[in-house]
Structure 1
């Protein structure tokens, strides 16, 4: 493994997460009392950029916030985590994206995303270095993600969440796609993709090359506090581990260890330690 972690540029969403924690999730039309409310930085893009920075990578965020108090808070939070926010646009005509989240005592959640500024930015004036790793998700407009794929000459990664039909050109440009098992089932075209990492929660994760399982790694048993940021932490860790030269199975094990750490943290942007710590955990369990 290289001791110098790669630079990762995340193109994606930046949200304010408004989280209500309750004993159980409400059914349709039901009102549940006794909830505890909190607000914190979130958005799949921002979560992944913060995770990459906290794992020791050099992280840059490309996205947008509104010209409002929430947007200023998001920018301050990203900068405090060590993320370069030079390419985060501040839009006058859009509010900062917001996610309304209900979490139960087992860490399961329901989420409604109001994209706001996330749906109003472009990559005009943004460039990527030839060896730069670019990581996208689907909480921003598909045209922006496709443009990022076209502009990227380095390692291009798509976390295909939330699941949707993907243009053939986008999949062809992906060096790696990351999904959970539900998203893998909802996007049949992934069976033909070059390289796909699939997470299975407590059952670990696997890597598929053109639909054939090439590697897998078990998950660690953990107490779940919040699953919101775990997938995003997994994405950042897997990208860093692969780009640092780790084999597929080892990289999956490292990412599983990071995800396990993340679900034990109630924050959407969990506190993490440098990647080498998780490499040690993963290799000792092999």
Structure 2
């Protein structure tokens, strides 16, 4: 019998206000192009993953830091709407909340620049203060939009507490911290991150997964956009290909976070890695059909059917 935990998923990570504009084509160097009206919405990789898991019914908490400005309240409101536990979000007086400036092209793909703001002051001391919360969580999900020392502290604390650690190494570093890598079960990477971390520019998803497991990750998931995903579990001889689901992409912003949040939620419920990835592919597919990050995340009732099932 599995030990009962207070939370299914604890996300330790960033919270950003997303400032999004859509363009007919991306500007070249030194060029100005017209765009749509600016849209402000809740985002940040950590907050996105928490919102995705919470919308799916997982008992979810977020450890993050925001400012006491209007953007901070925007982020808190987004998490309340999703159903995330907010008592562990730190609101810093006089600080500026992190922001992300997002340009979305006509194909739905995006370019993003992040200004960290209060995210840069989520420190290892904050992780130490939350040790009991981490121990009370089945899965702890991490990304790299907060200081590296904080990510490492969270990975070590979660591993020592017996929580399963999900690591999404984004933005991809030149080299992933060994303590973070060896705690990852799984390491969740997209194709760009896989190439960067393995230096296998012409590799296959399975080759990337095997290389990353060889570097120390306990298990690996490679996300492949519309093509689905590939999983390589701890000790498994064979990788598992998870087929994609056809979806008309409106905006891919935050789709990877939707996948990772859903994966963490399903792992916390006891699913195998391949089963969790199949579920997460459905969540990611639903998220690209609506604009924005958190506003696009589905509930269970809004998910597309699994491949081969009737809708």
Q: TM-score, length-normalised on structure 2?
A: 0.84
Instruction: Provide the secondary structure at the position in 2 that maps to 1:84.
Output: coil
The aligned residue for residue 219 of structure 2 is 195
1:151: which partner in 2? 157
Query: C-alpha offsets along residues 65-91 of structure 1, whole Å, 9 cap, x if unaligned?
Result: 012121122112212211111111112
For the residue of structure 2 that corresponds to 1:134, the secondary structure is strand
- Matched with 2:207 is none
Is the 8 Å Cα contact of residues 144 and 169 (structure 2) preserved in structure 1?
A: yes
**1:206 counterpart = 2:230:** yes
Q: Is the 8 A contact 1:253 1:282 kept in 2?
A: no
Aligned residues: 282
Deviation string for 1:136-180 (max 9, x for gaps)?
Answer: 100111111100011112101111111011111211122211110
Cα deviations by residue, 1:196-229 (Å, 9 ceiling, x for unpaired): 1001112210012479652111111111011112
Residue in 1 that maps onto 2:59:
58
Q: Which residue of 2 aligns with 1:139?
A: 145
Higher strand share: 1
Question: Cα gap change, 1:131/1:267 in structure 2, threshold over 3 Å: closer, same or farther?
Answer: closer
**What CA distance in whole angstroms lies between the structure 2 residues aligned with 1:162 and 1:130?**
28
Name the stretch that deviates more: 76-85 or 47-56: 76-85
- Indicate whether 1:233 and 2:258 are aligned: yes
Aligned with 1:175: secondary structure? strand
Give, in whole Å, the separation in 2 of the partners of 1:250 and 1:208: 12
Structure 2 gaps, min length 5: 199-210
Give 1:1-286 correspondences, 5 Å limit.
7-122=8-123, 123-127=127-131, 128-129=134-135, 132-152=138-158, 153=161, 154-164=163-173, 165-188=175-198, 190-192=212-214, 193-209=217-233, 213-269=238-294, 270-274=296-300, 278=303, 281=306, 284=309
Separation in structure 1 between the aligned mates of residue 195 and residue 237 of structure 2, nearest angstrom: 15
Helix, strand or coil for the counterpart of 2:239?
Answer: strand
Alpha-carbon distance in structure 2 between the residues aligned to 1:110 and 1:224: 15
**Once structures 1 and 2 are overlaid, which stretch shifts more, 107-116 or 192-201?**
192-201
TM-score normalised by length of structure 1: 0.91
Q: 1:244 to 1:44 in 2, by over 3 A?
A: same
Judge conservation of contact 1:225–1:264 (CA < 8 Å) in 2.
yes
- Do the aligned partners of residues 182 and 88 (structure 1) sit closer, same or farther apart at CA in structure 2, a change above 3 Å counting? same
Please state how far the C-alpha of 1:130 moved relative to its aligned partner. 5.3
Deviations 1:233-274 (A, max 9, x none): 100111222332333333222111110000001021124122
> Does the 8 Å contact 2:17/2:41 carry over to 1?
yes
Distance 1:111 1:12, change over 3 A: same
Change (3 A) 1:182 1:104: same
The answer for unaligned runs of 5 or more in structure 1 is none
Root-mean-square deviation (Å): 2.3
Which moves more between the two structures, 247-256 or 178-187? 247-256
C-alpha distance in structure 2 between counterparts of 1:102 and 1:213, whole Å: 39
